[in-house]
Homo-oligomer: A and B are copies of this chain.
Amino acid sequence: MSAAVQTFNRPAGQGTCEPIACTHCGVYQLCLPLGLDGTDMALLDSVVRRKEVYKRGAVLFGPGERFDYVYAIRSGSVKTSVSSDDGRVQITGFHIAGELLGLSALASGHYSCEARALETVSVCKVEAERLGEIARKIPSVQYQMLRIMSGQIRQDEQLMLLLGTRRAEEKLAAYLLGLSQRFASRNYSPTQFRLSMSRKDIGNYLGIAEETVCRILTRFHEDGLITAERRMVRLNDIRRLHALARNDAAA
């Protein structure tokens, strides 16, 4: 296998990012899938500046701030949002344990979005400069960073597809299913979970009004598709939810 392959294609035998807590402060998105040896691991470990806790509503970083850290979520959840000069806000993602935030600041050296805790959240702050240093030394770390960013682009593409082409009902069905999948991949229950974000946040994320979110959730509930009580949600009929998300006749 050539060096190029190691740099650009997934190293053979390396699986996808598994939802296993990494000893090195939960940064599994960065270090787990790499198969680093002890020395490299220690090196990577050394860039972790400090662990920190943010309360609900606290801002991890905001647009325009200097890009000093990459944030790895250890527990809790975070929303990221962008805003326009005229004050409109679009939530671009909800992030949970194991995910890495802030890499998109690379281009300009300043964060483009705001990251705010949805509930008490514990993070590791990784020094951006030293991470860059490490990345130069350990190709697989560099590869992994590129991988994370290109993964982010894919995720954004999916949200654009959702925002641009689906109706409210489909958006919400797809949203619930997306959450379900993410929880499943982290060994949480895919059918029963707690929403850490408000209806308003969901609406903003999906490009629909808060009231519409309510109404549709109520309808789903009445139709027996889900059981929704405040922020607890249980998916009762994933099959039909899928059909709804795809606007299938078999709804």
Q: Across the interface, do A154 and B88 meet the contact criterion of CB distance under 8 Å?
A: no
Is A9 at the interface (CB under 8 A from chain B)?
A: yes
Q: How far is the CA of A8 from the CA of B126 in the complex (A)?
A: 13
Residues of B within 8 A of A206 (CB): 164
Partner of A82, one of B82, B89, B148, B158: B158
Q: How far is the CA of A43 from the CA of B157 in the complex (A)?
A: 33
Q: Which A residues, 107 to 158, have Cβ-Cβ distances below 8 Å to chain B?
A: 107-109, 112-113, 128-133, 135-136, 139, 142, 145-154, 156-158
State the number of copies, please: 2
Is A160 at the interface (CB under 8 A from chain B)?
A: yes
Q: Across the interface, do B160 and A112 meet the contact criterion of CB distance under 8 Å?
A: no
Interface size of A by CB at 8 A reads 64
Q: Across the interface, do A132 and B8 meet the contact criterion of CB distance under 8 Å?
A: yes
Q: Across the interface, do B8 and A86 meet the contact criterion of CB distance under 8 Å?
A: no
Write the nearest CB–CB distance from A99 to chain B, whole angstroms. 14
Q: Across the interface, do A9 and B246 meet the contact criterion of CB distance under 8 Å?
A: no
Interface string of A1-23 (1 = CB under 8 A from B): 01111011110000000000000
